[in-house]
Structure 1
Amino acid sequence: MAGHSKWKNIMHRKGRQDAIKAKIFTKISKEIFVAVRNGGPDPNVNFKLKLAIQKAKKNNMPSDNIERTIKKALGETDSNYEEITYEGYGPGGVAVMVQCLTDNRNRTAAEVRHAFNKNGGSLGETGSVTWMFERKGVLIIDKKKTDLDEDSIMMMALEAGAEDLKVEEDDYEIYTTPEQFENVKTSLEQQGLEFEEAEITMIPQNTIALTGENAKAMIKLIDALEDLDDVQSVQTNADIDDSEFEE
C-alpha cells in the first residue's frame, strides 16, 4: 500500500459509516473483552485494554457499552474468544492477512473462505504469506489536526524511540518496533500529539500494484472480509491508486 491508512479509509470513502457503526462497536467490544480476560480491568496497567478503550471513544462508542463489556468479561460467562489469523491471496496474487476474534472457529473459517472464493481470492495455508509482513507499531496523525510540520514530528518521533516517519497525503504515519510502541505513544502524547489510529499490526515489506479489474475485485474482497463480525482487521500488500477507490 502507499500508506497504512489507505485501507482504513475505504469505508469512509464509500460513505458507509452509519451502516457499519454497529459492526464497529461489536468488534471493539470483543477487543475489550479479550483484553480484560487476559490482562485485567485496569487500563493503567493493561495497555491492550487502554488501546481498545481509546479506539472505542474515538468511534463514539457509549461509555455504558464499554463498562458493560468490562463487567461481562469479569463475570461468570461461557463467552470466550480466540485469536486466529487467516492467510490467503487476493486478485493479482497479492497477499492478505485476516485477524479474527471468534467463539466458533468453524463458522469463522467458513465465512472467511467464502469471502475469498466469492471475490477472486483463495485461502492459503498457515505461514503462506506471513513472511511478507513485519509486525510494527503504527501511530497515525491527521495533518489537519496538528500545526506541527514534518521535520518537527520527525524529530519528536525519533527522540521518543520511533523507527520511521512516512508522510501521506492526509496523514503522518509513525512506525515503531512492537516493543517500543507503548513508550513512543506515551511520550508523544505527553508532548501534545493526538493519534487517529494507534495499533500494533502487520505491515507489508513490499507492495504489488493493482489496477483495473484486479483493483476493483480486491476492494470488494476487503469490504467482504471487513463486513464479517469475527474479522477485526485486514492487511494486504496491494498498492491501489486513489483513482481506483473513487471509481
Structure 2
Amino acid sequence: MAGHNKWSKVKHIKAKEDAKKGKLFTKAVRDIMTAVRDGGPNPETNAALRLAIERAKAVSMPQDNIKRAIDKASGNLPGVKYEEITYEGYGPGGVAIMVECLTDNKNRTVAAVRHAFSKAGGSLGTSGSVAWMFDKKGVITVERGEKDDEVMESALESGASDILEFDEVLVIECEPSDFNELLKSVEETGVNILESSVGLVANNEMEVDDATAEKVERLIDVLEENDDVQNVYHNMK
C-alpha cells in the first residue's frame, strides 16, 4: 500500500505540473498569435513576436507548436479558415468584458462564450455595447530595478504616452502605431520585459466588492480555457 500511495502522490504532482505547463503553453501560444496579428509573422521586423517566441522557448514549448501558432494567426494552415471576432458583454456586478476570439467555427465559439457569461450571471451584449469603455493601446510591462530612469527616459523619447509606476513593475503605454519602435527602444536598455502587446485598456475602471471580483475572475478563467479565445479584457479595478 505504501508503494501505491507514493505512486498516487507522484501521479498527482505530475498532473499538477502538466496542468501548469499546459497553461504556460496556452499563454505562450496566445502571445505569439496576438503578436502576429498585430505586426506580421516575421520576428525580424516584429519585436513583439520575437519576444513572444523567446518566452515560449523559455517554457520549453516545442518549435512545431510555435510554428503552428504563427501559421494559424497568419492564416497559413491548409484547409482551415480562421475568423477574428470580438464579443462584448457584462459580467457579474456589471463589469464590462471584451472577448477576442480566433475561430474556424463561429457558431461553436459564440455558444461557448454565451454559456460562460450566462452561467456566471452575466450576459452578452450587442456590438458596441461596451467597446466604448476601452481604448486600444500598446502596453509594455517591465521589471523595476536600477534601470528605471534609463527605461523611462528611453520610453518617453520613443513615443510612450504614459508610464505607470507600481512597486515591482513599470507599465508603459503608447499608441498602437508607436508600439514596435517603443518596444525595440525599451528592449535595448536590457531591462527584463515581462509582458508586451497591443490590446484593450479600460478608460474608466469600476470598483467591485471581493465577492463580485471572485465571480468575475472565475468567468475570465472559464473564457480563457476556451481554445478559441485569444484575449479577455475587463474594466474591473
Task: State the TM-score, normalized to the length of structure 2.
Answer: 0.80
SS in structure 2 at match of 1:139:
strand
1:126: which partner in 2? 127
Counterpart in the other structure of 1:234: 232
Aligned to 1:200: 198
Aligned twin of 1:162: 160
Distance 1:79 1:49, change over 3 A: farther
Q: Which residue identity is paired with 1:148?
A: K
Aligned-pair distance for 1:29? 4.2
Asked if structure 2 preserves the Cα contact closer than 8 Å seen for 1:102 and 1:230, the reply is yes
Structure 1 residues 55 and 202 mapped into 2: Cα distance closer, same or farther (>3 Å)?
Answer: farther
Identify the residue that residue 109 of structure 2 maps to in structure 1. 108
2:62 maps to which residue?
A: 62
SS at 1:135's partner residue? strand
Per the TM alignment, residue 37 of structure 1 is displaced from its structure 2 partner at its CA by 9.2
Q: Which amino acid aligns with 1:22?
A: G
In 2, are the aligned partners of 1:27 and 1:230 still within 8 Å (CA)?
no
SS of match in other structure, 1:193: coil
Deviation of the 1:66 alpha carbon = 2.0
Give the aligned partner of residue 22 of structure 1: 22
State the one-letter code of the partner of 1:147: E
Deviation of the 1:155 alpha carbon: 1.9
Contact 1:141 1:171 in 2 (8 A): yes
**What are the ranges of 5 or more consecutive residues in structure 2 without an aligned counterpart?**
1-15
CA contact (8 A) 2:135 2:200 kept: yes
Contact 2:46/2:180 (CA < 8 Å) preserved in 1? no
Aligned to 1:10: none
Give how far 1:121 is off.
1.0
Q: Distance in 2 between matches of 1:90 and 1:27?
A: 22
Counterpart in the other structure of 1:42: 42
Partner of 2:223: 225
TM-fit CA distance, 1:58: 4.9
In structure 1, how many angstroms separate the alpha carbons of the residues matched to 2:211 and 2:75? 48
**C-alpha separation between the residues in 1 aligned to 2:34 and 2:108?**
19
**Retained in 1: the 8 A contact 2:133–2:204?**
yes
Percent same amino acid at aligned positions? 48
What does 1:139-150 align with in structure 2 at a 5 Å threshold?
139-143=140-144, 146-149=145-148
Q: Which residue number in structure 2 is paired with residue 215 of structure 1?
A: 213
The alignment of Structure 1 onto Structure 2 pairs a total of residues equal to: 221
| Range with bigger deviation, 46-55 or 115-124 | 46-55
**Does the Cα contact within 8 Å between 1:34 and 1:81 map onto a contact in 2?**
no
Q: Partner of 1:163: helix, strand, or coil?
A: strand
Q: 1:74 to 1:164 in 2, by over 3 A?
A: closer
1:172-202 superposed Cα distances (whole Å, 9 cap, x missing partner): 1000110000000011212222311100000
Alignment partners' CA distance in 2, 1:148 and 1:31: 25
The alignment yields a C-alpha RMSD, in angstroms, of 3.0
Asked if 1 retains the 8 angstrom alpha-carbon contact of 2:147 and 2:191, the reply is: no
Q: RCO greater where, 1 or 2, for CA within 8 Å and sep 6 or more?
A: 1
Name the residue aligned to 1:244. none
Name the CA shift for 1:39/1:172 in 2 (closer, same or farther; >3 Å).
closer
SS in 1 for 2:50: helix
The Cα shift of 1:75 comes to: 6.5
